[in-house]
Amino acid sequence: MKSSITALVGIIALAAIVAGHFFGLGYSVGVGIALSVVFGLGWPRYLGIPAKKTLGTVMALTGAGAALTVGLTKDANFMVWTPIFIAVGFGAVMVVQLIRGTGQAHRLESTLGSGAGVLVAGFASGWVASQRFLGEPGMTLIVAISAAVALLAGTLPWPDRVAAPLAIVLGALSGPLAALLFSDLRIVPAVILGALVAAVIASFRRLRTLAGPSHSFMGSCASALAPILSLGALVYFVEKLLLS
């Protein structure tokens, strides 16, 4: 999948997440579950690891369960169940690796890649928690705009040593601009938040460069969704630090 199409998939996912603030909690939970399932089923295909269906199901269930419990929990700490789902997901990954038998090649790489997928799927629930915590789209729009700008910068046919700093600078600039338009967040925190978001996007761009293009459509979608979903936990906890 071309970098431009990858960026388009990421921007569509961001738009669906932002729309949750206008369509309600049920929609937001549904989007979180859907994105987690697409990511979970595609991530093993992107990494090219064995037991793709089983490990993909583990990741999909981890993200879907975390998003659902964030939407249903009565606790003020909306992500209280997320670490439990991530821990169970890690345990399930270990069990799958043991069932595969001994002497399998690349077992460590498979375990680490699957564990990273479980984390990303669980972090996606942070988007739902963000909506429940604030109830207004201001912070989500700051993150979404900064991420979209960084994604577009990543489509430039330039080496990572040039594209990554450019994406971070543009993200740091778009953060305060979005804050002025959509939020009461002060300029300096918005700059830091925009730079952090862009750094995450640039890091995943580097991962795609090292891993090479995926030959699977689901795998390509998972690589495009990975940075977007991982930002969920970041935006939620930054909100709690800045606004609590």
pTM of the model: 0.90
What is the per-residue pLDDT for 158?
A: 84
Is a pLDDT exceeding 70 seen at residue 1?
no
Total structural domains in the chain? 1
Three-state secondary structure string covering 84-122: HHHHHHHHHHHHHHHHCCCCCCCHHHHHHHHHHHHHHHH
**Better-scored residue on pLDDT, 100 or 37:** 37
What digits encode the pLDDT tens for the residues 209-226? 777 777 788 998 999 999
- Binned at pLDDT 50, 70 and 90, residue 105 comes out as low
What is the per-residue pLDDT for 104?
A: 62
Is a pLDDT exceeding 80 seen at residue 36?
yes
- Binned at pLDDT 50, 70 and 90, residue 102 comes out as low
The per-residue pLDDT of the chain, averaged, comes to: 88
- Binned at pLDDT 50, 70 and 90, residue 11 comes out as very high
- Binned at pLDDT 50, 70 and 90, residue 171 comes out as very high
What is the per-residue pLDDT for 189?
A: 85
Range of the domain at 95: 3-243
